[in-house]
Structure 1
Amino acid sequence: MIIAGASVQGTAHLAGARGCQDAFKAVDLGEAAVLAVSDGASSRDRSALGAHLAVDTACRLLAEDLPDPDAAPETWTRWTAERGQRIVAHYLRAVAGLLGGGRCGPETEQDPGALAATLTAAVVCPPWTAFVSTGDGFATLLTGDGRCHLVLPQPPGPVSFLSSPGAALRIRTFTVWEPEFGGVFLATDGCAALTLDHPRIRQLPPEAGPLPAEHFFQGVAAALRANHGDAEPLRRLLSGPEAARTGDDLTVLCALAEAG
């Protein structure tokens, strides 16, 4: 399995003398992999730390005690849901420790929102891919024949963070069974303009929602396979003029089957 990722500071962040508030992390488990990306809230000074804490927590918990690839769908669904709850609990506990107190929450003096961050994570264990998400990140699944599916679209409404009240109830978890697995991409919201197409491009009505930009995902997948996972082509794309128009930090992380 090929694993590659890149994170680029947004032009607006650079102009405002703010560092990159995105983070990503991956764990290669041989026949499986764990991926996580996070976007720190731009209004919070310590959100970059929160983003790194989010990906560390997710990768640690999602790499433990994976179900067997041949396990029943119910087993994968239950495991993923339970891991989502554990990630929120462990994240809040770690934030409380960083803030120098005990419990964190709106009813205490310790506000976990100081480290507010989103999370989009995946466990890749073909034919299964399990997702845990809160916030406005998104995920695209590639099949062996090169088709792209937006399996985790950006949710409507206000952005929810791991530290938001009721985060354990808002976190999304689900599993996908795809025997022709080709790859999975995770991205933070700053990448939307670069990696998602408006439905009118494919002559579909607006209610069809955003669609994955196949030229982006197929092109990146081909380049990474050709150079054995060197992420430089991905970094160049995220640093290009088209990506720079968003002004936001951009992070993309992927795991690809070595054969196309």
Structure 2
Amino acid sequence: MIIAGAAVQGTAHLAAAQGCQDAFKAVDLGGAAVLAVSDGAGSRDRSALGAHLAVDAACRLLARDVPDGAAAPERWTRWIAGRGRRVVGEYLRAVSGVLGAGSGPAEPGPGDPGAARAGPADPGALAATLTAAVVAPPWVAFVSLGDGFGTLLTRDDRSHLVLPPPAGPAAFLSSPAAGLRIRTFAVWEPELGGVAVVTDGLAALALDHPSGRGLPPAAGPLPAGRFFAGVAAALRASGGDAGPLRRLLSGPEAARTGDDLTLLCALVEGR
């Protein structure tokens, strides 16, 4: 697989002398890969640290015991559901290590014996979202909490928004009942060409409004096909060098969002 990502400080954060509050991390497992991006809460001073803790926690858990690509759908569904709930506990444990042990239990998901038993005094101090994917062709499994989104590319470079941004307010890994609110699911795609996980700062560039395609607003956002096909073509041409991604996220089109911009991709080779 070709795995590449980039995070660029948003122009609004630059003007306000704020650092980039996004983070990303990937784990190459040979025939599979784990991708994770996170957006720290802008109102928190240490949110960038929270974002890094989130992607670390996700990659640690999601890289373990990944089912085989030939495993049954029920196996994939159960595995990613269990891992998703555990990510919340793993994140809270990491935050507790940074802030010091506190009072109050972390709220586990139903039937999740591996969730944290105690959380930090103020986990919201490092509040962060999470969008993660395990890519094991022909399967892709997602874990998401917050306002990020995920897109699949098929071998003919068509893009499919399989993990859209949520319609309601964004939740964080430190939010009450986060283990109950986290989204997990698995997708089987025999023509899988690639996967991209994206933070919400790129929505204006990577998503199209349905009206642009003659569809009613209820159809929801659609992936900008030329954007994702262009990213895939540039990364294949560069052999996975992240330079084209950084240039894209630093360009004038991306700058108009003002927010931090993060994109992480895994492209299946041998198309």
Query: Which residue does 1:248 correspond to in 2?
Result: 259
If the length of structure 2 is used for normalisation, what is the TM-score?
Answer: 0.93
Whether the 8 Å contact between 1:104 and 1:111 is mirrored in structure 2 is no
Whether the 8 Å contact between 2:150 and 2:196 is mirrored in structure 1 is yes
Change (3 A) 1:108 1:83: closer
Query: Which residue does 2:9 correspond to in 1?
Result: 9
SS at match of 2:236: helix
Query: Residue 257 of structure 1: CA displacement?
Result: 1.1
- With 97-106 and 138-147 compared, the bigger mean Cα shift is at 97-106
SS at match of 1:176: strand
Is residue 2:207 matched to residue 1:196? Answer: yes
In the TM superposition, 1:27-66 aligns within 5 A as 27-66=27-66
Change (3 A) 1:88 1:200: same
Q: How far apart in 1 are the matches of 2:209 and 2:121? A: 41
In the TM superposition, 1:134-145 aligns within 5 A as 134-145=145-156
Whether the 8 Å contact between 2:149 and 2:164 is mirrored in structure 1 is yes
SS at match of 1:156: coil
Whether the 8 Å contact between 2:103 and 2:120 is mirrored in structure 1 is no
Q: How far apart in 2 are the matches of 1:10 and 1:132? A: 25
Is residue 2:180 matched to residue 1:166? Answer: no
* Equivalenced residues, count: 260
**Percent identity of paired positions between Structure 1 and Structure 2:** 76
SS at match of 1:149: strand
Query: Which residue does 1:239 correspond to in 2?
Result: 250
Q: How far apart in 2 are the matches of 1:108 and 1:184? A: 33
SS at match of 2:18: coil
Structure 1's unaligned 5+ residue stretches are: none
Is residue 2:74 matched to residue 1:74? Answer: yes
Q: Could you list the per-position Cα deviations for residues 100-141 of structure 1 after superposition, in whole angstroms to 9, with x for gaps in the alignment? A: 124556998711000000000000000100000000000000
182, 187, 191: which is aligned to 1:180?
Answer: 191
Query: Which residue does 2:109 correspond to in 1?
Result: none
Q: Could you list the per-position Cα deviations for residues 13-33 of structure 1 after superposition, in whole angstroms to 9, with x for gaps in the alignment? A: 001011000000000011000
Q: Could you list the per-position Cα deviations for residues 54-107 of structure 1 after superposition, in whole angstroms to 9, with x for gaps in the alignment? A: 000000100001111111100000000000011101111111121112455699
208, 231, 234: which is aligned to 1:223?
Answer: 234
Q: How far apart in 2 are the matches of 1:94 and 1:218? A: 37
Whether the 8 Å contact between 2:96 and 2:120 is mirrored in structure 1 is no
If the length of structure 1 is used for normalisation, what is the TM-score?
Answer: 0.97
Change (3 A) 1:144 1:163: same
Query: What code does the residue aligned with 1:38 have?
Result: S
Q: Could you list the per-position Cα deviations for residues 39-68 of structure 1 after superposition, in whole angstroms to 9, with x for gaps in the alignment? A: 000000011000000000000100001111
- What is the root-mean-square deviation in Å for CA atoms of aligned residues? 1.4
120, 125, 132: which is aligned to 2:131?
Answer: 120
Query: Which residue does 1:86 correspond to in 2?
Result: 86
Query: What code does the residue aligned with 2:26 have?
Result: A
SS at match of 1:184: strand
Q: How far apart in 1 are the matches of 2:31 and 2:39? A: 28
Query: Residue 259 of structure 1: CA displacement?
Result: 3.8
